[in-house]
Structure 1
Amino acid sequence: MTHYKIQKALFMDLDGTVRRNKKGGFIEKPTDIELIPGVVERIHHYQDQEYLLFAVTNQGGVAAGFKTPQDISDENAEMMRLLSLHNVAFDRISIAFTHPEGKVAPYNRHSLMRKPYYGMLAVLEYQYYHEQGTILDLPNSLFVGDMDTDRECAEAAGGPYQDIQDFLKGGES
């Protein structure tokens, strides 16, 4: 008989939620990245409660031709390095490179992986169920972001949403 574990997760958008450009605007290279003040402490709160930690991010700059998937990988590596200095690490990072108005194939298309759709969450749910026997408790998890697409993704997945500003204040959803 297989025993399954039910576990809550903290789903976090990245740009404008976990990280930002030190000088403002879009992140252009890994050395531009700084963590949003206060976010590490708040992530620790959920990490201490044994939430799984997931990053879910739209990176349409790849579809637009401003960045490559390798650029995004390098940016994420720098973010993970900065987080590791505070003993924080995401269990997985899920990325949607697509955008329906993009110019670079194969990313210039509609995709259910791109927020506001909840494809990234569904894939994480599938992976954890089949790889580890873990059922993600979406209704009791938390999605944190800074855009309407983040909120809409959480709503579509049936989970609660908190804007980054409220999250940083320490309120529970």
Structure 2
Amino acid sequence: MMRPAVFFDRDGVLNEDDGYAFDPAKIRWVQGAQQAVKAVNDAGYFAFVVTNQSGIARGFFEERHVRNLHDWMSCELAVVGAHIDAFEFCPHHPDGLIERYRILCNCRKPQPGMITALLERYPVDINASFMIGDKQSDLAAAQAAGIAAHLFDGSNLHTFLAPLLTACSHGPPHRSPSHRGDAGK
């Protein structure tokens, strides 16, 4: 059965973007983030995370560190009765120091590869789904995958998200204009 999905960027949307986050001891949740994920779960949507993690290509940390952080986030979310259905991350960067990750790929946002991989694995209702990101590259990836995109303003994530869930249950989602951007991490 098809279900809508919310695609969250990670750094700057779910957790504060302090630059190349990988240590759970240093992670600070964005205000309302855990409640936002729970609201997505309670509304019957899939909850996905799609995140560029070029710190791997740059040699700052390894894939296992990212997986460990995602496991920690899952445990933290479980405390409030919330969950992420899948985490996707891109370890690549064309200027990376680690040769095997120094590539141009289709998963690094603004490319849609992480989103399209999830769309292939899960029965997602694309027309009722949307992305929440804090950079133009997040919005561009969503739009390239054919889903709506909303630029998170850095406020309380639950407060930001709640009317989007309501809007999607009463008709097709609308596309928010974007006004800032960069290539992401």
Residue correspondence of structure 1 range 65-84 to structure 2 within 5 A: 65-84=59-78
CA shift at 1:25, angstroms?
A: 4.2
More strand by share: 1
Q: Which residue of 2 aligns with 1:52?
A: 46
- For 1:80-101, what per-residue CA distance to the aligned partner results, in whole angstroms no more than 9, with x for missing partners? 2221111111111011000111
Please tell me whether the aligned partners of residues 22 and 66 of structure 2 are also in contact (alpha carbons under 8 angstroms). Answer: no
CA shift at 1:26, angstroms?
A: 3.8
Q: Which runs of 5 or more structure 2 residues have no equivalent in the other structure? A: 165-173, 175-185
CA RMSD of aligned residues (A): 1.7
Q: Calculate the TM-score normalised by the size of structure 2.
A: 0.80
In 2, Cα distance between equivalents of 1:47 and 1:120: 20
Segment of structure 1 superposing worse, 54-63 or 73-82: 73-82
CA shift at 1:28, angstroms?
A: 4.8
Q: Which residue of 2 aligns with 1:156?
A: 144
CA shift at 1:41, angstroms?
A: 2.1
Please tell me whether the aligned partners of residues 15 and 29 of structure 2 are also in contact (alpha carbons under 8 angstroms). Answer: yes
Q: Which runs of 4+ in 1 moved over 6 A?
A: none
In 1, Cα distance between equivalents of 2:103 and 2:4: 32
* Identity between Structure 1 and Structure 2 (%): 27
Please tell me whether the aligned partners of residues 89 and 114 of structure 2 are also in contact (alpha carbons under 8 angstroms). Answer: yes
Please tell me whether the aligned partners of residues 41 and 83 of structure 2 are also in contact (alpha carbons under 8 angstroms). Answer: no
1:106 counterpart = 2:100: yes
Please tell me whether the aligned partners of residues 6 and 45 of structure 2 are also in contact (alpha carbons under 8 angstroms). Answer: yes
CA shift at 1:105, angstroms?
A: 2.1
Name the aligned partner's letter for residue 139 of structure 1: N
Name the aligned partner's letter for residue 12 of structure 1: F
CA shift at 1:35, angstroms?
A: 1.3
Say which SS state the counterpart of residue 150 (structure 2) adopts: strand
- For 1:100-154, what per-residue CA distance to the aligned partner results, in whole angstroms no more than 9, with x for missing partners? 11110211111101111111111111122xxxxx2x1122101011111101011
Residue correspondence of structure 1 range 3-152 to structure 2 within 5 A: 5-20=1-16, 24-128=18-122, 134=123, 136-152=124-140
Please tell me whether the aligned partners of residues 35 and 79 of structure 1 are also in contact (alpha carbons under 8 angstroms). Answer: no
Q: Which runs of 5 or more structure 1 residues have no equivalent in the other structure? A: 129-133
Q: Which residue of 2 aligns with 1:131?
A: none
CA shift at 1:27, angstroms?
A: 2.2
